[in-house]
Amino acid sequence: MPGEPDDVIHQLVVGGDAAIAEIIERAHTSDDVTTIVAAALFAAAPGDLLDRAAGVATTTRDRQVVAIAVAHVAGDADRVDALARDHLVDHPASVLVAWITANTANTHPQPPNPEGPVMSHTTTTTSFQSPVHQHPARRSLRPWWKWLLVALAFPVAGLIGHLVAGRVDSVSAAVLGGVITGAGLGAAQWALLRHRGIGIRWIPATAAGLGVGLAVGAALVSYRTDITSLVGMGAVSGLGVGIAQGAMLGNTKRMLGWAIATAALWAVGWATTTAGGIRVEEQFVVFGAYGAIASTFLQSIIIGSFIPAKAVQS
């Protein structure tokens, strides 16, 4: 069986079920991303092959191909279209990506064929009806461990905000401390999320969201520092951050989900920090290391549902 990408595509088009079965078999040991992705599109259970493709992808081009295939398997036509447009600008000869794009838009799902992959031929066109549409990609709830690095930014950014703005005991102090701290947190988050397509506007959005959210939340609890007050302040602060960041996620549903999740996580952060015996009576801008670790870990579990990796986690 030829190993070159063009030969793989040719075999899929003209080789029949036997050729497709052979490609699927070879894909389990092949290191060629095109071969593995092509096989996944016709496999009854494409998830393992797509995971393998992600594992061997070493170039931006290959990672893009895997990301497009993952979106295709999940039935996410809008994401396929967006990713494929960018990919084809740089790689206009990518036959596999062109085929995926066309079939995501035009192919109706067919029940899996126990006899093997289904191919239908006409005198003018060749089309494939892949059973992969019956097996949407599942979002894992495993933590994105690299995201825990963000926890390191909370005490550092919070200390800088506290030194500059002082205690959060007025609207002006809350706004100034929130903006400074939010910029630091946003920069730390963006450093990881830029690999998932998040733009640098994430930083000023986080700064503005925390500045407004903290000012409102602290005022609502009259700047008290008992655990109930701090949990309430945290929820409002997190809501401000979540709304500002969520506006960059592409649709209202994601924005609302991200805002609610962030509000809850910031409430958890303040509850954990207060329960840990930190001197919260000094009216800090943001919770410390205990709360940062707890909230960031929980966020690492859900972040892929809102900001999925383009191909493999960076």
- pLDDT single digits (tens) 75-91: 888 788 888 777 877 77
For the segment 285-311, the average pLDDT, to the nearest whole number, is 90
What is the CA angle 301-303-309, rounded to 5?
Answer: 110
The pLDDT of residue 12 is 57
Note whether 198 and 300 are same-domain residues: yes
- pLDDT-wise least confident of 65-69, 70-74, 106-110, 301-305: 106-110
Tally of domains in the chain:
2
Exposed, middle or buried, 307 (CB in 10 Å: 0-12/13-18/19+)? Answer: buried
Bigger pLDDT: 191 vs 56:
191
Note whether 108 and 163 are same-domain residues: no
Mapping DSSP onto H, E and C, the string for 246-301 reads: HCCCCCHHHHHHHHHHHHHHHHHHHHHHHHCCCCHHHCCCCCCHHHHHHHHHHHHH
The pLDDT of residue 293 is 96
The pLDDT of residue 105 is 52
Query: 247 in a domain, yes or no?
Result: yes
Note whether 128 and 79 are same-domain residues: yes
Note whether 253 and 212 are same-domain residues: yes
The pLDDT of residue 241 is 98
Rounded CA-CA distance 166/288 in Å is: 16
Q: Which residue range(s) make up the domain with 98?
A: 5-134
For the segment 32-48, the average pLDDT, to the nearest whole number, is 81
The last residue of one of the domains, among 82, 112, 134, is 134
Check pLDDT > 50 for residue 138: no
Query: 313 in a domain, yes or no?
Result: no
Query: 312 in a domain, yes or no?
Result: no
Note whether 90 and 113 are same-domain residues: yes
Query: 189 in a domain, yes or no?
Result: yes
- Give the helix, strand, coil percentages of the chain, each rounded to 5: 70, 5, 30
Note whether 98 and 158 are same-domain residues: no
Q: How far is CA 126 from CA 8, 16, 68, 131, 176, in A?
A: 15, 11, 21, 17, 62
Note whether 129 and 149 are same-domain residues: no
Query: 232 in a domain, yes or no?
Result: yes
Helices and strands (DSSP H and E) totals, the chain: 13, 2
The pLDDT of residue 58 is 87
Of the pLDDT bands very low, low, confident and very high (cuts 50, 70, 90), residue 137 is very low
Query: 140 in a domain, yes or no?
Result: no
Query: 311 in a domain, yes or no?
Result: no
For the segment 39-59, the average pLDDT, to the nearest whole number, is 83
The pLDDT of residue 266 is 97
The last residue of one of the domains, among 83, 111, 134, is 134
The pLDDT of residue 10 is 56
Which residues, other chains included, contact 202 with Cβ-Cβ below 8 Å and sequence gap of 6+?
186, 189, 190, 193, 245, 248
Note whether 301 and 153 are same-domain residues: yes
pLDDT in tens, 248-267: 998 899 999 999 999 999 99
Note whether 87 and 236 are same-domain residues: no
Bigger pLDDT: 149 vs 119:
149
Note whether 176 and 279 are same-domain residues: yes
Check pLDDT > 60 for residue 120: no
Of the pLDDT bands very low, low, confident and very high (cuts 50, 70, 90), residue 11 is low
Mapping DSSP onto H, E and C, the string for 32-66 reads: CHHHHHHHHCCCCCCHHHHHHHHHHCCCHHHHHHH
Query: 165 in a domain, yes or no?
Result: yes
Note whether 215 and 288 are same-domain residues: yes
Q: Could you say which DSSP state residue 311 is in?
A: S
The pLDDT of residue 100 is 83
Of the pLDDT bands very low, low, confident and very high (cuts 50, 70, 90), residue 3 is very low
The pLDDT of residue 310 is 63
How many other C-beta atoms can be found within 10 angstroms of the C-beta atom of residue 138?
8
Note whether 215 and 296 are same-domain residues: yes
For the segment 49-69, the average pLDDT, to the nearest whole number, is 87
The pLDDT of residue 8 is 59
Check pLDDT > 50 for residue 119: no
pLDDT in tens, 187-243: 999 999 998 889 999 999 999 999 999 999 999 999 999 999 999 999 999 999 999
The last residue of one of the domains, among 134, 166, 183, is 134
Rounded CA-CA distance 198/195 in Å is: 7
Which residues, other chains included, contact 215 with Cβ-Cβ below 8 Å and sequence gap of 6+?
171, 174, 175, 178
